[in-house]
């Protein structure tokens, strides 16, 4: 596809009140709606009105997350929307392949082909919740995840597309010759199969990945069709984009088979001054002491006695090799400290906006300029939109930024397809078990 033909891909990262950590305290938000299905339905409908590719729900097993379980929530959204893709995070470390394969196949059928799986290995320790003694280290989690994903894909493939007959005349409901065991056996997993539900509408739900460590990038090059990534500068985003796309040929993949969507967390207003005023208000509402405590734990150094207005250094901070959680996010903060020599207050405020994603404060027109620059200069294939305030931030983005992107020929004016794959320009995957069966027959 030529540069002229390329279109942006946009996802809305859903949240209860917004992606600024102080958003819940702002007068325009309603934290009590964090478990209100109607709130998320309204957000999804706003995103669909803006013709966005998808909405995304993060998930994990940490305490006090306050988040609804994603399959339940997205299934409800699927019933009242028609086009918007529905992406859920599911960890591999604390799940089983059969369960995950079945749930995503179900969501894909419920939504008629709009499901996506954000594959994470589990950065937050949750071993005590799942009868495990300790949280696996980084490389072990990824090794297990690679096997996990392969099993899930084979389970989706355990039904051929025409295995469901529903032939009343002959009395044949399913063609058993087209439903197969997978007989996976290893030190980690023993899965016989087949899955107990027909192959998903899309073949596979869209595979999304969010890690940006070296291991994460290699995992993405092998499996992912969309990457959600955190990049603080356009230069870092370009480097990441080139790096990951260059890894694809070793897995017989091409650049258009993977969409890279950096996080973009905007504060929008009619004037730049008004936007900055809202930014300052959110900073005033930020719990700086709580943020410093979390940053200390993340960096492995006690910052409680560090003056807010003194520059930070990397002295004493954990090395990337010592980090067992999100290595890429840790490195992002270290790079920020080394590059900008910021004060502790500046680091806290920057991370409060979106936890290390690119933040923007200004007008819709200015944001459209920024999006166009990143898109046209090899920094992204689109963005994971993370408004700092919900729902007003998403409404303003849809009502004022989307039309500007459309006027510039950068974004669709109608959905191209009924499935998430179709709207992302991704092909429906062939059945791997059927291909192996055909090859054996030919031999």
- Rounded to an integer, what is the distance from CA 16 to the centroid of its chain? 16
Structure tokens at 271: 């004037």
The verdict on whether residue 40 carries a ligand-binding annotation is: no
Q: Is 370 annotated as a binding residue?
A: no
> Are the C-beta atoms of 51 and 414 separated by less than 8 Å?
yes
At what angle are helices 70-78 and 97-110 packed, to 10 degrees? 20
213 has binding-site annotation? yes
260 vs 134: CA distance, rounded Å: 33
Question: What is the Cα–Cα distance from 368 to 402, expressed in whole angstroms?
Answer: 8
Neighbours of 25 (CB within 10 A): 16
Q: What is the pLDDT of residue 361?
A: 97
Torsion sign across C-alpha atoms 236, 238, 241, 247: negative
415 is in an annotated binding site: no
Consecutive sets of 10 residues in the chain, 443 residues long: mean pLDDT of each?
Answer: 75 96 96 95 98 94 77 97 97 95 98 97 79 84 95 98 96 96 97 98 97 89 96 95 98 97 97 97 92 85 87 82 73 84 86 87 98 98 97 98 98 98 97 69 41
Q: What does the block give as tokens for 365?
A: 């027109």
Q: How far is CA 200 from CA 15, 52, 165, 205, 230, in A?
A: 27, 22, 16, 7, 30
Cis peptide before 142 (omega within 30 of 0): no
The pTM of the whole model exceeds 0.85: yes
3-state secondary structure (DSSP) of residue 319: coil
Which DSSP string do the residues of 191-227 spell out, in sequence order? Answer: E----SSPPPTTSSPEEEE---SHHHHHHHHHH-SEE
Mapped onto helix, strand or coil, the DSSP state of residue 95 is coil
To the question of whether residue 142 is assigned a binding role by annotation, the answer is yes
Q: Give pLDDT, residue 441.
A: 47
Between CA 257 and CA 175 the distance in angstroms is: 32
Contacts of 169 (CB under 8 A, 6+ apart): none
Angstrom CA distances, 61 to 47, 166, 189, 203, 357, stand at 27, 40, 22, 29, 22
Domains and their CATH numbers in the chain: 9-272+357-442 (3.20.20.30)
Q: What is the pLDDT of residue 442?
A: 40
Check: CB of residue 54 under 8 Å from CB of residue 12: yes
């Amino acid at each position: 596809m030529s540069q002229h033909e390329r279109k942006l891909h946009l996802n809305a990262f859903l949240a209860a009140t917004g992606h600024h950590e102080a958003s819940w305290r702002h007068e325009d938000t309603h934290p009590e709606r964090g478990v209100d299905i109607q709130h998320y339905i309204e957000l999804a409908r706003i995103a669909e009105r803006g013709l966005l590719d998808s909405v995304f729900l993060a998930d994990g097993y940490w305490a006090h997350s306050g988040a609804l379980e994603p399959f339940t929530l997205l299934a409800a959204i699927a019933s009242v929307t028609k086009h918007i893709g529905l992406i859920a995070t599911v960890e591999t470390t604390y799940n089983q392949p059969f369960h995950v394969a079945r749930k995503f196949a179900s969501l894909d059928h419920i939504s008629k082909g709009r499901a996506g799986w954000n594959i994470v290995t589990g950065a937050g320790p949750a071993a005590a919740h799942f009868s495990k003694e300790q949280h696996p280290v980084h490389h072990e989690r990824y090794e297990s995840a690679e096997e996990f994903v392969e099993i899930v894909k084979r389970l989706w493939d355990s039904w051929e597309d025409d295995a469901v007959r529903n032939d009343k005349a002959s009395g044949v409901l399913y063609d058993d010759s087209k439903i197969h065991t997978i007989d996976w056996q290893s030190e980690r997993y023993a899965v016989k199969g087949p899955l107990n539900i027909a192959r998903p509408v899309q073949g596979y739900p869209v595979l999304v990945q969010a890690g940006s460590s070296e291991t994460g990038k290699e995992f993405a090059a092998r499996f992912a069709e969309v990457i959600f990534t955190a990049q603080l500068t356009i230069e870092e985003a370009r480097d990441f984009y080139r790096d990951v796309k260059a890894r694809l040929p070793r897995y017989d993949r091409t650049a258009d088979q993977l969409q890279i969507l950096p996080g973009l967390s905007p504060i929008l207003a009619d004037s730049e001054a008004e936007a900055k005023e809202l930014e300052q208000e959110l900073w005033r509402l930020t719990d700086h002491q709580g943020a410093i405590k979390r940053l200390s734990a993340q960096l492995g150094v006690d910052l409680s006695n560090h003056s807010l207005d003194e520059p930070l250094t990397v002295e004493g901070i954990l090395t990337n090799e010592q980090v067992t959680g999100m290595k890429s996010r840790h490195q992002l903060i270290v790079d920020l400290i080394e590059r900008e020599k910021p004060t502790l207050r500046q680091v806290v405020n920057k991370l409060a906006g979106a936890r290390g994603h690119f933040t923007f404060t200004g007008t819709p027109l200015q944001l459209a300029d920024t999006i166009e620059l990143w898109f046209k200069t090899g920094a992204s294939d689109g963005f994971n939109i993370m408004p700092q305030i919900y729902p007003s931030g998403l409404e303003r983005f849809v009502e004022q930024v989307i039309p500007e992107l459309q006027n510039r020929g950068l974004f669709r004016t109608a959905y191209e397809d009924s499935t998430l794959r179709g709207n992302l320009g991704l092909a429906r995957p062939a059945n791997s078990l059927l291909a192996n069966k055909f090859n054996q027959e030919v031999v």
